[in-house]
Amino acid sequence: QSVLTQPPSASGTPGQRVTISCSGSTSNIGSKTVNWYQQFPGTAPKVLIYGSNQRPSGVPDRFSGSKSGTSASLAISGLQSEDEADYFCSAWDDSLNGWVFGGGTKLTVL
């Protein structure tokens, strides 16, 4: 059971906007920034969003992150077939004194 809660799956058609939620608590998302990682099958995770809403260079601006209270969201606009991947949220947890991850959301582009 992951400390951060994500829906196991999400889907959308090309061009659509999709959001993936990540729910935590006051000891993690409520007091720390959130990071999002994208992972394709058989490959290592790659940072997509850091600091809750910052994009590393090279990440398209179709990807955006937000945070409110103890929840965070990843939004993907103009959905493309190559966005089909697993997405994980993560944050530092002050109570556990360590990093926690969500269970991951498998995004399917229909």
Partner 1 sequence: QITLKESGPTLVKPTQTLTLTCTFSGFSLSTSGVGMGWVRQPPGKALEWLALTYWDDDKRYSPSLKNRLTITKDTSKNQVLLTMTNMDPADTATYYCAVLYSSSWYEYFHHWGQGTLVTVSS
Site residues for partner 1 per CB under 8 A: 2, 33, 35, 37, 43-47, 50-52, 54, 56, 88, 90, 92, 96-104
In one-letter notation, the amino acid at residue 69 is G
CB of 28 to partner 1, least distance (A): 12
Q: What is each CA distance from 17 to 10, 13, 76, 99, 109, in whole angstroms? A: 11, 9, 6, 29, 11
CB of 88 to partner 1, least distance (A): 6
Among 40, 46, 42, 48, CA closest to 74 = 48
Integer Cα distance of 80 and 75 in angstroms: 13
CB of 1 to partner 1, least distance (A): 10
CB of 110 to partner 1, least distance (A): 22
38/71 with CB nearer partner 1: 38
19/53 with CB nearer partner 1: 53
65/79 with CB nearer partner 1: 65
Give SS3 for 81: helix
